[in-house]
Amino acid sequence: MILRRKSVEATVPSMAMGDIAFLLLIFIVLLARARDESHLVWQPATGTELVKPANRNASVVIDKQNVTYLNGRPVQVENLAAELEALLGDLPAGGRTVLFKVHKDVIAEFFEPAIEAVSEAGGELHHVLEPAPNPSAVP
């Protein structure tokens, strides 16, 4: 009697792969949002001869409502210098860049104390601006 060998299918079950990928997607999106500042409403001022920052150690945002944020978290301007000092630690000069994102209509009363705080903490200020549509019009 001849016994026939059972043919076994060896396919990778692809049914669960979709679910795994979607869980990964949610995980990564949640992680990205933790560092994200997209929920903050601010419109950059215009400027010319813009450059990319060499590095990015901290980010200070002053939004449309004049609220100051450090790395996406609201912070009192009085505490900004101390918190920045803790963040920047003993980083060497040239590696202490603080991105400074201010809504274009925010007045000096709110942004100058924040600039002073960055300076006090030894941060290297990098104003985030958008290129002027007509650079010759910018004084």
Partner 1 sequence: MKLRRPKYLVETPTSAMNDIAFILIVFFLVCASVEPEDGRSQVIPRSEKNEDRQTSQSTEVGLTPATVTIDGTPYRLNEFQSRIRQILAQKKTEAERVVVLKSQADVPYEHWIAMTGIIERAGGIVTLLLEEEQTVNLN
The residue ranges that bind partner 1 (CB under 8 A) are 14-15, 17-18, 21-22, 24-25, 28-29, 32-33, 36-38, 44-53, 56, 97, 99-109, 111-113, 115-116, 118-120, 122, 124-131, 138-139
Residues 40, 42, 43, 45, Cα dihedral to 10°: -130
In whole angstroms, give the CA distance from residue 52 to residue 17: 39
Cβ closest to partner 1, residue 74 vs residue 130: 130
How many angstroms from the chain centroid is the CA of residue 60? 9
Among 97, 103, 84, smallest CA distance to 40 is for: 103
Nearer to partner 1, 87 or 122 (CB): 122
DSSP readout, 8-42? PP-----TTHHHHHHHHHHHHHHHHHHT--TTS--
Nearest distance, CB of residue 95 and partner 1, angstroms: 13
Closest contact distance (angstroms) between CB of 123 and partner 1 is: 9
The CB-of-8 to partner 1 minimum distance in angstroms stands at: 21
Shortest distance, CB of residue 32 to partner 1, whole angstroms? 4
